Structure 1
């Protein structure tokens, strides 16, 4: 179900969105969470970390997600 974004009404976040995010990618049979973590690690490891302003898409949030997954049983 595709929804139109209307700025005045804000973003509509449905249960369907979370089901997709928590599901598996059928192309690779891996969880979308794990794919995002793997991608974040790859991006982070490819950079020098000497210029944070130039590395805006590189964070260590994936480390927090891994800890949460470990303690939440995901």
Structure 2
């Protein structure tokens, strides 16, 4: 069974609501590029997980801050 890495990212928009996006990388070589059309965000957090080509199945890291407006 192929194992994959998953990235979950969530961000807080200017309306005070969280939005999320999930990406997977099953490549054994270079990391995969991704982009998110998030609009204006106030902060963002991400975590990585283990999984298969179809879904997250393993342990995930804790949410870590990636970016915050003003610092």
- TM range, normalised to the smaller chain? under 0.3
**Could you say which structure has the greater relative contact order, defined with CA pairs below 8 angstroms and 6 or more residues apart?**
2
TM (normalized to structure 2)?
0.21
The answer to which structure has the higher strand fraction is 2
